[in-house]
Amino acid sequence: MKGGKLLIFSAPSGSGKTTIVRHLLEQPELNLAFSVSATSRPRRGKEKHGEHYYFITASEFKKHIRDDDFLEWEEVYRDNFYGTLKSEVERLWAEGKNVIFDIDVAGGLRIKRKFPEETLAVFVKPPSVDELKIRLKKRSTDSDDKINMRIAKASVELATAPQFDKIIKNYDLDTALREARELVADFIAKPKKKAIKKKNT
């Protein structure tokens, strides 16, 4: 797989990464296209297949795993799988785009490891876990049990922040949007490093 740059945005649920990614997609000079993830979870609200996610059954997801169709995948919650299909990234690269991901922390780090030179991995950090809980309750998309699961998971995810290339502190949204745009523009402008072949001595 060869093509443009990969921009990873990961964070605990409620940190604001989706808002940041949507803002970046609206900047034409960045030449970005969104990588739509596959998931086995049910649709929420007005979500559309192929736009928000590729909604597939758990059995279909497991078949894709067996067939090595994923760039990365994760069982984020019990029986709730998320993953990035190789065909999705290949499709966007074929269109000459840089690919941006709104993705789980574990999945984002896996892609970074597979494509270290092509990938900018950004962690979006919320002001606090308490603020996360407030934001998740305001969304009104999850039950209290699911919110508590997300909060417990957030503590683990926050500990991975140092493994990312950059950390954006989303304490003020306008500042976070500006920082994200500058980071992505600078990374896209840099030429890819060519691999240096070591001579046998």
Domain ranges of the chain: 6-189
Q: What's the pLDDT tens digit per position in 113-144?
A: 999 999 999 999 987 777 777 777 777 677 77
Average pLDDT of span 31-37: 96
Least confident window among 50-64, 72-86, 160-174, 186-200:
186-200
143-154 pLDDT tens trace:
777 777 778 788
52-85 in b/e burial notation, b at 16+ Cβ within 10 A? bbbbbeeeebeebeeeebbbbbbebeeeebbbbb
CATH number of 6-189: 3.40.50.300
Res 13: pLDDT: 80
* Among 121, 96, 80, 86, residue whose Cα is nearest residue 30: 96
H or E segment to which residue 109 belongs: helix 105-114
- The radius of gyration of the chain's CA atoms, rounded to the nearest angstrom, is 17
Reported as a single tens digit per residue, the pLDDT across 170-179 is 989 999 999 9
- Contact between 123 and 179 (Cβ < 8 Å): no
Question: Residue 131: CB partners within 8 Å, gap ≥ 6?
Answer: none
CB–CB of 99/35 below 8 Å? yes
Whether 193 shows a pLDDT value over 70: the answer reads: no
Is the per-residue pLDDT at 197 higher than 50? Answer: no
